[in-house]
Chains A and B, each alone.
Chain A
Amino acid sequence: DAKTTQPTSMDCAEGRAANLPCNHSTISGNEYVYWYRQIHSQGPQYIIHGLKNNETNEMASLIITEDRKSSTLILPHATLRDTAVYYCIVRGNDYKLSFGAGTTVTVRA
């Protein structure tokens, strides 16, 4: 599976959009981009995934660049409950998900 690079941490103001970048320059054609988050002392929670088209669900939007070498997770109106570690994962045919260190997002009032 391709490796990903994310910033270690970022802050966001409550009510504003949070844009979380992820680089995956070695991604191959059949690999999906997944985003998960983990709130303190809980199990990771699935947010969204995509292959090459932009995706949106009730939690977030995923924007994937045309060359697929990077993506951005957008939380449109961040709340204090969105404070968590966010993981960007690239996954191919393998069963397993490989989690990196993720981005610690702190939403401030």
Chain B
Amino acid sequence: DVKVTQSSRYLVKRTGEKVFLECVQDMDHENMFWYRQDPGLGLRLIYFSYDVKMKEKGDIPEGYSVSREKKERFSLILESASTNQTSMYLCASSRSHGRLYGYTFGSGTRLTVV
């Protein structure tokens, strides 16, 4: 069964910590995405990557960075975690001609920053 795996289901971090959220896909997809989901705001795109070492900002990149050193892995980095980054984080992947294919999402990481 093809899947997108996020390393942690629940995570609690302290304000100011550097936080790494990891995502791995086994479908050889070119595109990978990081979204965050908050009540009343829906899913918002943080960053995406269409190839190894390539990245583009989404709608809300401030306070985040990403890394894609290998095709199957896309990491989201919170440089200095803040309480307003408490959220559900969702990773997704798709084929390169993504308009013709659906996205596959991971199960999400619920991050709490205290």
Interface residues of A (CB under 8 A from B): 32, 34, 36, 41-46, 49, 91-93, 95-102
Contact = CB atoms under 8 A, between A and B. Distances in A.
Given A92-B99, A93-B99, A100-B42, A43 B31 contact: no
B58 A101 contact: no
Interface centre among A44, A49, A98, A99 (most CB of B within 10 A): A44
Given A42-B107, A97-B43, 18 more contacts: A32-B99, A36-B102, A36-B103, A41-B108, A42-B108, A43-B92, A43-B105, A43-B106, A43-B108, A44-B103, A93-B99, A95-B48, A95-B98, A96-B33, A96-B58, A97-B103, A100-B42, A102-B42
17 contacts: A34-B102, A36-B102, A36-B103, A43-B92, A43-B106, A44-B90, A44-B92, A44-B103, A45-B105, A46-B102, A46-B104, A91-B99, A95-B56, A96-B33, A96-B45, A98-B45, A99-B42
A61 to B, nearest CB: 16
B42 A43 contact: no
Interface of B: 4, 31, 33, 42-43, 45, 48, 50, 56, 58, 90, 92, 98-100, 102-108
B43 to A, nearest CB: 4
B102 A95 contact: no
Given A32-B99, A43-B92, A44-B90, A99 B43 contact: yes
Nearest to A49: B102
B4 to A, nearest CB: 8
B48 A96 contact: yes
Contacts of A95: 31, 33, 48, 50, 56, 98
A58 to B, nearest CB: 14
A34 B50 CA distance: 20
Interface centre among B92, B99, B100 (most CB of A within 10 A): B99
Nearest to B9: A41
